[in-house]
Amino acid sequence: MNIYSNEEWGSKTGLFNPNATLTADLNLLFQIAIIIFLVGGVSIVKVRRRFTKHGVVMGIAVSLNMVSMAVVMIPSLLGFRGLFLMPLTRPALVVAIHAVMGILVEILGIWLVGTWIFRHHEIKACAKKRRPMRVTVLLWLVELFLGIYVYVMLYLPI
């Protein structure tokens, strides 16, 4: 039995990996979709300078992240026996850092998109937050790649 994986969570028949659960595989696809929205959202603003479209795409990425956290990540995290039984091991530490970064990114994302929505879509106010936006993307990419690393660590026999 792998104490780091959450075997009560979801059936043990992954979409493309028999060692993973269906939930883990679906969540992996979800994370890949978020990476695509994130990279797309940044290129919309950097290459095409379309600010409103950038705001909308980032809003979608933040919403997808919220759904993934609420439906999969948080329930799954609470079921990780290894995190609580052996907190100072590599898998537990990687999962913990991934989780903390995920929560931080979600808070930053809600703040960036929320202030835009509640300030009647004022672009100037958003443009002033260039540095926090950069930090958010950086943290987000690290968090997403840590998530993929967690999947590899738990479900790929290497």
Please give the structure tokens belonging to residue 57: 């795409």
Contact predicate 11/24, CB 8 Å: no
Taking the least distance from each CB to ligand HEM, the nearer of 62 and 69 is 62
Contact predicate 37/137, CB 8 Å: no
Residue 90 engages ligand HEM in binding (rule: CB under 6 A)? no
Binding test (CB under 6 A) with ligand HEM, winner from 44, 73, 133, 150: 133
3-state secondary structure 105-136: HHHHHHHHHHHHHHCCCCHHHHHCCHHHHHHH
Taking the least distance from each CB to ligand HEM, the nearer of 20 and 133 is 133
Task: Give the N- to C-terminal CA distance of the chain in Å, as an integer.
Answer: 16
Residue 55 engages ligand HEM in binding (rule: CB under 6 A)? yes
Give least dist CB 104 to ligand HEM, A.
12
Site string for ligand HEM, 15-54 (x = CB under 6 A): ---------------------------x--xx----xx-x
Binding test (CB under 6 A) with ligand HEM, winner from 44, 69, 73, 112: 112
User: 127-154 as b/e, with b when 16 or more CB fall inside 10 Å?
Assistant: eebeeebeebbebbeebbebbeebbebb
Taking the least distance from each CB to ligand HEM, the nearer of 51 and 149 is 51
Residues at the contact surface with ligand HEM, assessed by CB under 6 A: 42, 45-46, 51-52, 54-55, 58, 62, 109, 112-113, 116, 123, 126-127, 130, 133-134, 136-137
